[in-house]
Amino acid sequence: MTPLDVDALLFDVFGTVVDWRSGVIRDGERLAEGKQLDVDWPAFADAWREEYRPSMDRVRRGEIPWQNLDALHRDSLETLLDRFDVEGLTAEEAEYLNRVWHRLDPWPDSIPGLRRLRPHYLIAPLSNGHVRLLADMAKRAGLPWDLILSAELAGHYKPDEEAYLTAVDLLDLPPDRVAMVAAHEGDLDASRDAGLHTAYVHRPSEWGPERVDDNAEKPDESAYDVVADDISDLAMRLDV
Amino acid sequence: MTPLDVDALLFDVFGTVVDWRSGVIRDGERLAEGKQLDVDWPAFADAWREEYRPSMDRVRRGEIPWQNLDALHRDSLETLLDRFDVEGLTAEEAEYLNRVWHRLDPWPDSIPGLRRLRPHYLIAPLSNGHVRLLADMAKRAGLPWDLILSAELAGHYKPDEEAYLTAVDLLDLPPDRVAMVAAHEGDLDASRDAGLHTAYVHRPSEWGPERVDDNAEKPDESAYDVVADDISDLAMRLDV
């Protein structure tokens, strides 16, 4: 018996499906080539990502109106370029770097896992990334989504309940016919509060090889409907 | 030089990409097998489709609140089952018939044409069909969309301006970087009024072989940015 009797799977994206850290490092290093830039790009990537939650929280608390992730990333990028002494970027180069979040690569198991799941479930991202970002990412990386869903469609960032319930409503399903798949317990806890099923995917190296030990612990098997090692393992645990 | 310098193509679906008429006839005939039913399914299909615009217009005029196409189709289906003396359907059979609009087949040129266009443009439906309907249709038929867009995301049916502008906004593009592709001049005229480019695709047999002569006339080449015979011809005219 499958542990998840649902019609659709919604996937968190940054960290769960794609490896944001190595993508930011890759494009940072390419940008620095041929310039007099000595930047610790792994530290830059981590610092940029650390600005993610606080910047969305300003929207969630209503301190600033809705802005998509390109705009939030751009605000934090300006701060970081200054903090890391990155000088001499043209406006076009800064804009190109800001859109690196559209050009992230999947973890090695993501596409094989999604391909196994797709014949059995409607599969879609449900990310705080906006629709255009997710469409660009899917097109470039070949992510085989059935459709693109996003917090943008609710005008509310996860973990606001509206983000989950708008996606479920667009799927024309009750919440208990949908599961959220994520590497982050806060996302899954909020999904469960909204009535969805939950599947945890373990990504100990999301923050790079040096932090693997910090992230080595998986939640207890009983914490979510499924606790999987990666997306291919999720497919196996769902018997597909 | 390409006649359409845009980043994204939005496609009307019913009649433009898929052949609604033969799909409704097919599933109607299958349903009638083994029952004492003598129904003119081509006439039934046409009558159902003729209810489409008036039912959406009730939403557009604010006479009834937003309802998705399954709900509007279901209302008109009840009327038609009565008018065509279709008796003895179970609730499940009626519901299955109502969802035939999720199970329509593409015209023969649609998938080859979309496959040619996809490497060069973001491609998405922009239909009055709701997101779930379009996702089901794409999954069943293999339509290679980059993302699913729908009038549902605006809460306004085409040709209301909001339907086009919401789609353009989700693409994060200005309207003049987007083209609407449709077999219906009203859809294209409204798209142009909203600032989009326009591509006409000719579907003379949308209403069946007996009405081909009525629909044989294509608009003047100057009426839209492109006037194409079908979606493969559109790809050819765009030099892709």
Q: How far apart are alpha carbons A177 and A172 in whole angstroms?
A: 10
Residue A144 at interface with chain B, using a CB cutoff of 8 Å: no
Q: Which of A70, A147, A173 is the closest to B147 by Cβ?
A: A147
Identify whether A3 is part of a domain: no
Q: Are B130 and B150 in contact (CB under 8 A)?
A: yes
Domain membership of residue B38 (yes or no) is yes
Average pLDDT over residues A142-166: 98
CB contact under 8 A, A172 and B147: no
- 3-class secondary structure, B228: strand
For residues B186 and A202, give the distance between their C-alpha atoms in angstroms, rounded to a whole number: 51
Question: Does residue B141 sit in the same domain as residue B231?
Answer: yes
Quick: pLDDT tens for A96-134. Answer: 999 999 999 999 999 999 999 999 999 999 999 999 999
Domain identity same for B131 and B186: yes
Instruction: Give yes or no for a contact between B100 and B27, defined as CB atoms under 8 angstroms apart.
Output: yes
Residue B24 lies in a domain: yes
pLDDT grade for A213, boundaries at 50, 70 and 90: confident
User: Number of A:B CB contacts under 8 A?
Assistant: 56
> Does one domain contain both B84 and B69?
yes
- Residue A80: CATH number of its domain: 1.10.150.240
* Res A1: pLDDT: 62
Task: Mark whether B114 and B203 lie in a shared domain.
Answer: yes
Which residues constitute the domain of residue B15?
8-19+104-237
Q: Does the residue B162 lie in any domain? A: yes
**A140 and A233 co-located in one domain:** yes
Residues A199, A221: Cα–Cα separation, whole Å: 10
| Chain B residues whose beta carbon lies within 8 Å of the beta carbon of residue A148 | 146-148
DSSP-derived secondary structure for A23-40: HHHHHHHHHHTTTT----
Q: Is residue B3 part of a domain?
A: no
pLDDT tens, A3-46?
Answer: 899 999 999 999 999 999 999 999 999 999 878 889 999 999 99
Judge if B148 and B194 occupy the same domain.
yes
Last residue of a domain, one of A87, A102, A117: A102
Which helix (H) or strand (E) covers residue A95, if one does? helix A91-98
* Pair B160, B153: CB distance under 8 Å: no
- pLDDT tens, B132-182? 999 999 999 999 999 999 999 999 999 999 999 999 999 999 999 999 999
Does residue A109 fall inside a structural domain?
A: yes
Facing B122 at nearest CB: one of A124, A135, A170: A135
pLDDT at A2 > cutoff 80? no
Record the tokens describing residue A199, joined without a space.
């599947």
pTM attached to this predicted model: 0.97
How confident is the model over B219-239, as a mean pLDDT?
Answer: 96
User: CB contact, 8 Å: A35 with chain B?
Assistant: no
Asked if B159 contacts B188 with a C-beta cutoff of 8 angstroms, the reply is no
Distance from CA of A12 to the nearest CA of B (A): 17
Which tens digits make up the pLDDT trace of A155-181?
999 999 999 999 999 999 999 999 999
* A147–B135 C-beta distance less than 8 A: yes
Percent of chain B scoring above 90 in pLDDT: 92
Same domain, A203 and A136: yes
Mean pLDDT of the B195-207 span: 97
| Count of structural domains within chain A | 2
Domain C-terminal end among B56, B75, B102: B102
On whether any CB of chain B is under 8 Å from the CB of A19, the answer is no
Give domain status of residue A1, yes or no.
no
Residue B174: give its domain's CATH number.
Answer: 3.40.50.1000
Q: How far apart, in Å, do the first and last CA atoms of chain A sit?
A: 11
Please check whether residue A199 is in contact with residue A181, taking contact to mean a CB–CB distance below 8 angstroms: yes
Contact between A139 and B152 using a beta-carbon 8 Å cutoff: no
Hey, what amino acid is at B114? L
- As a whole number of angstroms, the distance between CA A28 and CA A100 comes to 9
Give yes or no: residues B123 and B90 share one domain: no
pLDDT band at B1 (very low <50, low <70, confident <90, very high): low
For the record, the structure tokens of B182 come out as: 């449709």
The C-alpha angle B210, B28, B157, rounded to 5 degrees, equals 75
Note whether B95 and B136 are same-domain residues.
no
Location of structure tokens 């018939």: B97
A172 contacts B130? CB cut-off 8 A: yes
Q: Is B115 in the same domain as B130?
A: yes
In terms of domains, do B150 and B111 share one?
Answer: yes
pLDDT in tens, B3-57: 899 999 999 999 999 999 999 999 999 999 878 889 999 999 999 999 999 999 9
Helix (H, G, I), strand (E, B) or coil at B106: strand
Determine the Cα angle at A76 with ends A75 and A80, to 5°. Answer: 125
In the structure encoding, which two tokens stand for residue B39, read together?
A: 């129904």
Structure tokens at B9: 């193509």
> Edge-to-edge strand order for the sheet containing A197-201?
A149-150, A122-127, A8-11, A178-182, A197-201, A226-228
Which of B186, B202, B184 is CA-nearest to residue B194?
A: B186
Beta bridge partners of B123: B9
> What residues of chain B lie within 8 A of the CB of A139, using their CB?
122, 146
A25 within a domain of the structure (yes/no) = yes
Give the nearest partner residue to A130 out of B131, B148, B172, using CB atoms.
B172
* pLDDT tens-digit map of A41-75: 999 999 999 999 999 999 999 999 999 999 999 99
Summarize the confidence of residues B198-227 as an average pLDDT.
92
Percent of chain B at pLDDT > 70 equals 100
B97 and B113 together in one domain: no
Q: Among A82, A102, A122, where does a domain finish?
A: A102
